Amino acid sequence: MFPTPIEKASRFVQTGYKILLPVALFLWLLPLIGVAITSVRPAGDLAAGNYFGIPSAFAGVENYTAVFRDSPIGWYILNSFKVTIPTVIGAVALSCLTGFALAVYRFKSNLVLFFLFVAGNFIPFQILMVPVRDMTLRAGLYDTTMGLVLFHVAFQTGFCTLFMRNFIKGLPFALIESARVEGVSEWRIFRHIVLPLMRPAIAALSVLVFTFVWNDYFWATVLVQGQHAMPVTAGLYSLNGQWVAAWHLVSAGSIVAALPPVAMFFLMQRHFIAGLTLGATKG
């Protein structure tokens, strides 16, 4: 244990620590708390200059209703789901296959391919922007959620392959070998022996990819122009332009846009962190 467990410290230090924790958390989340409070503030408060004081009344219902009624944010959220869910399914499915191939078989270009996927995962989006946009236009997928899905699936496959491959490497290889001796086909080994063991990796990747893709803003602005396919990140930004100085609406919109990944994180916390910290322990 490092640092020294607090239980071993004096009573004074222990109490101090317990007081410091919520204070530090409050300061750390101050921007978020500010936005959350603003989202339930009546519009009149802002006009009166009451930006950071206690709201004069609770206007949460009005503000959130106004956001959904007067702006297409509900539609944007739906678009985000239409992009995110197929991407999660696609990228995780493809990377189960590629990860299996790179973890289980020995062939010459194995490591080269693996590091190609790893490197692809780190490159700047800008180097892909012009050709991918052009390709999407030509395919008639510009301004559609499908265009975004295809790109995200391809790009996330890089990260997911890295993850899956390392996960499968950690599984007992004897299992696969004994199945081969029995004459089980490679596909059945994958389907019936390895895939059931990959559940935790699939869960971890699903939440991670969900969050990454939900929060994507760059491609949402490059591959989409109109409202009908716009995900909530880009939508929120364009709404911000319309709601000049209506900070109570911007805040409510921000909270709405942030909610799905936050909910995902809280529901699947262990998987989320396991996925994110892959490789942070061994090496």
Partner 1 sequence: MSNAVSPSSSFWKKNQQKLAPWLFLAPGMLMFVIYVLVPIFQSIWISFHDWDGLGEQVWIGFDNYVELLDDDTFYVALKNNLIWLVLYLLSIPAGLAAALFLNQTVTGIRLYKSLFFFPFVISQVVVGLMFTWFYAPDFGLFSKLTEWLTGEQIAVLADERFVTYGIIVAGLWPQTAYCMILYLTGLNNINPEQVEAARMDGAKGVKLLWNIILPQLGPATFIAMVVTVIGSLRSFDLVSVMTAGGPYGSSQVLSYFMYEQALSEYGFRMGYGAAIAVVLFLIMMIFISLFIVRMLRQERNA
Please give the residues from 53 up to 92 whose contact with partner 1 meets the rule CB under 8 A: none
Give the helix ranges, DSSP H, for 122-246: 126-138, 145-169, 173-181, 186-188, 195-197, 199-214, 218-222, 232-242
The nearest distance, CB 103 to partner 1, in angstroms, is 10
Distance, in Å, from the CA atom of 86 to the CA atom of 84, rounded to the nearest integer, reads: 6
| Contact flag: residue 244 with partner 1 (CB under 8 A) | no
Nearer to partner 1, 86 or 158 (CB): 158
Residues 115-174 that bind partner 1 (CB under 8 A): 115-120, 122-135, 150-151, 153-155, 157-158, 161
The nearest distance, CB 276 to partner 1, in angstroms, is 6
Residues 16-45 that bind partner 1 (CB under 8 A): 17-18, 21, 24-25, 28-32, 34-35, 38
- Size of the residue set binding partner 1 (CB under 8 A): 99
Which member of 43, 78, 85, 94 binds partner 1 (CB under 8 A)? 94
The nearest distance, CB 110 to partner 1, in angstroms, is 8
Distance, in Å, from the CA atom of 227 to the CA atom of 235, rounded to the nearest integer, reads: 8
Q: Report the 10 Å Cβ neighbour count for 243.
A: 20
Distance, in Å, from the CA atom of 79 to the CA atom of 74, rounded to the nearest integer, reads: 9
Contacts 24+ apart (CB under 8 A), 7-13: none
| Window of 54-62, 63-71, 196-204, 216-224 that interacts with partner 1 by CB under 8 A | 216-224
How far out from the chain centre does Cα 230 lie? 17
